[in-house]
A and B are shown apart, each in its own frame.
Chain A
Amino acid sequence: MHGYANPARFLRLARILTGPFLIAGIALSLAAAAWGLFGAPAERLQGDSVRILFIHVPAAWLGMGGWTAIALASMAELVWRHPLAGIAARAIALPGAVFALLCLVTGSLWGRPAWGTWWVWDGRLTSMLVLFFLYCAYIALADAANRDGENGSRLPAIFGLVGAVNIPIIHYSVLWWNSLHQPPSISMGKSEMAPAFLYGLLAATIGFSLIFGAVVLMRMRAILANAQAEARLRRRAMEAVDV
């Protein structure tokens, strides 16, 4: 990990990976979406609404996975002072917020035909909404800290670590409290899902994850490029003052 603490080395790798991640991710996601719409069968109890699974579940996993990655990057920033960790956490925040929001919206669209309601204030839905608000707060905090200079960057990292307490709450909410939301159908090494749904869901999850990775790489490249431009302009201004 520390081998890629050098921004120049990281940028070389990011330039190689961004395109393939994006193209493979788009192709796989579109194939999974086509399977979800036209290939997968209607489910016995939920009917055609089960097709929303191929969008809703990857969005939920990426929303939660995004914050887990922010927490890990925040720890790397606070403990090892990894120079790219804070940049990675900032780059993850927007795609994480978008996928958390997509999870909430598609979940609501699934809830209406499946449960007869758009929304209930139960543990799973409420903790997912809290995750979306945490992302919004993180983005605002990171922007403010960035404007204040490098010393301000510790506050978003602490917030990223503290906010991670919500991730196990989201995961276990359907087991701890009564909920309209179903318990997990997939756990480590075990699945209660029919193959027609399981393999399509796997393809959708890998596809959206590759897109997530490509977006994070693009946003990291943008943050680094802006920092390099700022540094160069500042150096030029200092040279002009010296002359």
Chain B
Amino acid sequence: MYEGLNHWGFVIASYAIGLGGTALLILHSLLTMRRAEARRDRAREQ
């Protein structure tokens, strides 16, 4: 262990980046899917 450092800053940063990155990935994939399926449905209706 590297002495003299408060570990909690590194822990919180890791969790924020890990969970935040995963949330952004989910959101991006969900929006991409919704847009693509709406586009397909519009093409079917035309």
Contact = CB atoms under 8 A, between A and B. Distances in A.
Contact of B29 (A219, A232, A236): A219
B7 A105 contact: no
Contacts of B2: 112-116
B32 A106 contact: no
B12 to A, nearest CB: 8
A48 B14 CA distance: 12
Contacts of B42: 229
Interface stretch (A136-144, A195-203, A220-228): A220-228
Nearest to A216: B29
Contacts of B33: 218-219, 221-222, 225
B15 A29 contact: no
Interface size class of B (residues with CB under 8 A): 20 to 34
B11 to A, nearest CB: 5
Secondary structure at the B interface, as helix, strand, loop or mixed, is helix
Interface in A185-243: 208, 211, 214-215, 218-219, 221-223, 225-226, 228-229, 232-233, 236
A106 B11 CA distance: 9
Given A36-B15, A221-B33, A52 B44 contact: no
Interface residues of A, number: 47
A116 B11 CA distance: 15
Nearest to B8: A48
Contact of A218 (B10, B17, B30, B39): B30
A49 B1 contact: yes
A114 B5 CA distance: 10
Contacts of A221: 33, 36-37
Contact of A105 (B17, B39, B40): B17
Interface string B1-31: 1100101101101110111011001100110
9 contacts: A45-B1, A52-B10, A94-B25, A95-B25, A113-B10, A222-B32, A222-B35, A229-B42, A236-B46
Q: Considering the complex of A and B, which 10 residue pairs feature the smallest CB-CB distances, nearest first?
A: A55-B18, A225-B36, A48-B7, A222-B36, A225-B40, A116-B2, A218-B29, A229-B43, A229-B40, A218-B33
